[in-house]
Amino acid sequence: MRIVTWNINSLNARKDFAALFLDQVAPDVLALQELKLETDKVPREPFESRGYHVAIFGQAKWNGVAIAAKAPISDVITGVSGDEGESRLLAATIDGIRFVDVYCPQGQTADSDKFAYKLRFYDALIGWLEGQDPMAPMVLLGDFNVAPAPEDIYDPIGLAGVPSFHPLEHERWKRLEAWGAIDVVKPHVKPGAFSFWDYRAGDFHQNRGMRIDHVLATRPVAERVERAEILRDWRKKKEGLTPSDHAPVIVHLRPA
């Protein structure tokens, strides 16, 4: 099974880019974030015409998450107590695995209301997870907007204390790990392998990025991971189409 998480940064703007990705990579499960569309405005045709089932939790102008899968999708839930009305979590069961697609807030500045909301969202997410069985097959994936360690950000000294690399975020990351969420990508990528680069001129080419898009799994799934990688080439233009500022992250599972 090939599992992908990808912050698409507007599915409307990148519909054709996403279709090209489906044709060339053909993941079994694709979790998208930052759709920037209401649920009924999300284009289903690029997915359904290729045989994918789709679950969507959209929101106009910002946020929004979706899961597309080759196998049937069941037991869909949307939202988490504490998301304060924002479309940031979508959970569904596919082939016996519970997939939880999250788009965590960015936080803007450490002294802003948006950062306080980010911490509240993480607390709500962790509280929700603590009500789940950490030994059940689960994949928690998405744009977490946290670089967990110094090697996951291009300037850990200059950006220390900035949202996405803040001690209060790192505390919450450790709580995710303590619950039983295992980062299944980190063992397979080199330090300085990032998943996000700002659109500012030169950031991508000079590798001024962060690894903030993650695939976490409970042990029954983590033990099935064969390899993982960040598909950096998909941060580049393809056939004249403009990419997202995030690269897809892919994890390969061996059969159960």
> Which are the contacts of 120, defined by CB distance < 8 A and separation ≥ 6?
82, 84
Percentage of the chain lying above the pLDDT 90 cut: 97
CA distance 166 to 108: 12
Catalytically annotated residue among 101, 143, 152, 183: 143
Mean pLDDT of 83-100: 97
Cα within 13 Å of Cα(152), Cβ side: 21
Which of helix, strand or coil describes residue 7? strand
CA distance 138 to 135: 8
Tell me the chain's radius of gyration from C-alpha atoms: 17
Kindly report, residue by residue over 157-172, the tens digit of the pLDDT: 999 999 999 999 999 9
Which of helix, strand or coil describes residue 20? helix
The number of domains in the chain is: 1
Mean pLDDT of 40-53: 97
- What range does the domain containing 95 cover? 2-253
Kindly report, residue by residue over 223-243, the tens digit of the pLDDT: 999 999 999 999 999 999 999
Cα within 13 Å of Cα(25), Cβ side: 26
CA distance 112 to 132: 31
Instruction: Judge contact between 209 and 197, C-beta under 8 A.
Output: yes
Averaged pLDDT of the chain: 97
Q: Return the beta strands (E) in 132-199 as ranges.
A: 138-143, 182-183, 196-197
- The enclosing H or E element of 215 equals strand 213-217
Helices and strands of the chain, counted as H and E runs: 5, 14
**Annotation marks residue 143 as catalytic:** yes
Helix axes 113-129, 167-179, angle to 10 degrees: 10
pLDDT at 13: 96
**How many residues comprise the chain?**
256
- The enclosing H or E element of 124 equals helix 113-129
CATH code of 29's domain: 3.60.10.10
Catalytically annotated residue among 52, 83, 101, 103: 103
Kindly report, residue by residue over 55-83, the tens digit of the pLDDT: 999 999 899 999 999 999 999 999 999 89
> Which are the contacts of 178, defined by CB distance < 8 A and separation ≥ 6?
none
Kindly report, residue by residue over 188-209, the tens digit of the pLDDT: 999 999 999 999 889 999 999 9
Q: Cα-flanking dihedrals φ and ψ of residue 176, to 5°?
A: -60, -45
Kindly report, residue by residue over 19-39, the tens digit of the pLDDT: 999 999 999 999 999 999 999
Q: Cα-flanking dihedrals φ and ψ of residue 221, to 5°?
A: -85, -40
**pTM summary value:** 0.98
